[in-house]
Amino acid sequence: MPRLLALLLLSLGGLAAAEPRPLIIAHRGASGYLPEHTLAAKALAYGQGADFLEQDVVLSKDGVPVIFHDTHIDTTTDVAKKFPGRQRADGRFYALDFSVAELKQLNVTERFNPKTGKAAFPKRFPVGVGSFQVVTLEEEIQFIQALNRSTGRNVGLYPELKAPAWHRQEGRDLSATVLPLLRKYGYDAKDSACYLQCFEYAEIKRLRGELGWSGKLIMLLGGKGKGPGETDFTYLQTDAGLAELAQLVDGIGPPISSYVAGKTPAERQVTDLAARARKAGLKSHPYTLRADELPKCVTSVDELLSALFTEAKVDGLFTDFPDLCIKR
């Protein structure tokens, strides 16, 4: 009996010592199954076991943070039908030109091309089916916290500040509006279940400096070249760039192709970016695993997960299909 007990304790100790699996971050919710950034998509992702739910944040005309992936809203709503003539000179409809009361009149739908009406992902939830409403950031925070209370879990937020420089050009300060809301609900500490992310390096510096953000922060990165605000994505993925970022942020969010690349499965290569980021003290949370849009260098979701989790050893992963990643 003592020997069996010792073996059991040893086994339990081994389980406790096992490395935690990478975080599963629901990209715009379970957007592979329901229209993105709807509470229905967030609820499904929550039920599928996601660790974090993503919120892309822009401002409405009356200065309220609302959840849209883009500053324009004509690819995921019926705004062109409900408010004809309210587009800008470029032909696009922008959240910033509509009050929350007006945005609440819209029906959110599966992403589509506003010129052709065709779905961005033809095999997903049908365009125009169902009744889904625009959600404010505060409504979503309250929704997630209510689910955490009823389930006993602690699923976190992963908000992205969308185009803060553009908002400032329009006379609005997105970051200065969002941060007080996150503080109000207790997401401003390093141990809070919240990662705040942005593609603009200048804004990342502003968040840590001028705006005094002390919570977890992620620098989003494109693959190569320069991004918004002349952010040099290529440099920031070098050892020197990672060391520089480590003074400001807790992790990086590059595309999957920065970790697993190749034109065919035979040519697939796993890079050392996650290892170099970890050496600098940074987490790696790449985006976005889509079961219906896999990289050419893999033949299945499991193959991609193996390359990311086992070979590259990333710390988290954005996905439109949380259930397929949780069960791995």
How many CB atoms within 10 Å of residue 88?
11
- Told to judge if 69 belongs to the known catalytic residues of this protein, a careful annotator would answer yes
Residue of 37, 69, 167, 285 with catalytic role: 69
Residue of 27, 37, 72, 285 with catalytic role: 27
- Identify the segments of the chain with pLDDT beneath 50: 1-17
pLDDT reported for residue 10: 39
Do 37 and 68 touch, CB atoms closer than 8 A? Answer: yes
- Told to judge if 37 belongs to the known catalytic residues of this protein, a careful annotator would answer no
The string of pLDDT tens digits covering residues 173-193 is 999 999 999 999 999 999 999
Q: Is the pTM of this model over 0.85?
A: yes
Task: Look at residue 39 and give its three-state secondary structure.
Answer: helix
The two structure tokens encoding residue 97 = 């030109």
Instruction: From 163, 203, 166, 160, select the one nearest 182 (Cα to Cα).
Output: 160
